[in-house]
Amino acid sequence: MAFDDRGPIMTAVRLLLLLVGGWLGWYGIALLLDFPRADLISIVLWFAGGILLHDAVFAPLCAAVGASARRFLPGAWWGPAACGAVCTVALLAIAAPVLDRGHAMPDNPTVLDRNYPLGLVAAVVLVWVLVGAAGAAQLADRRRRRDTTTQRSTP
């Protein structure tokens, strides 16, 4: 470990983090309490719906895809493929609200002024090109190591 987890410095750091986290939580709750009751109910429903959607749909789907990928992909590709999948899901989650809203604000053309679907496709393609490069580099490294360990010198 980088730090002794029982020393006075770590105790002070933990106490500071606890105080800052408590203050930030209180501040967030205070901001929420200024909202009208209907908005608070909407926030609670969206929050609960997001948790249920994650636990009932997204997590099992990710587990199934991950288990299937491990069956079909060579070991050198597991890490890069998992990283690419996480990046793809993060990009989709970030882009989802703006994907089909190109003409949502016709009176203000500065809002949603880009081709977001094209940008999403470009970002996802870039992620998977990098996944391919990382997987190929790992395969080449494994082959190089295997070739150097199997060569025997003859006297």
Of 21-25, 74-78, 120-124, 132-136, give the lowest mean pLDDT range: 74-78
In this prediction, residue 144 has a pLDDT band, given cuts at 50, 70 and 90, of confident
- On the 0-12 / 13-18 / 19+ scale of CB atoms within 10 A, 91 is middle
Q: Which residue has the higher pLDDT, 113 or 102?
A: 113
Query: Rounded mean pLDDT of 5-11?
Result: 81
Domain boundaries, the chain: 76-148
Query: Rounded mean pLDDT of 133-152?
Result: 81
Average pLDDT score, the chain: 86
Which residue is listed with tokens 């010198």? 153
Contacts of 5 (CB under 8 A, 6+ apart): none
CA 103-109-113 angle, to 5 degrees, is: 75
Q: Give the model confidence (pLDDT) of 11-65 as tens digits.
A: 899 999 999 999 999 999 999 999 999 999 999 998 999 899 989 998 999 899 8
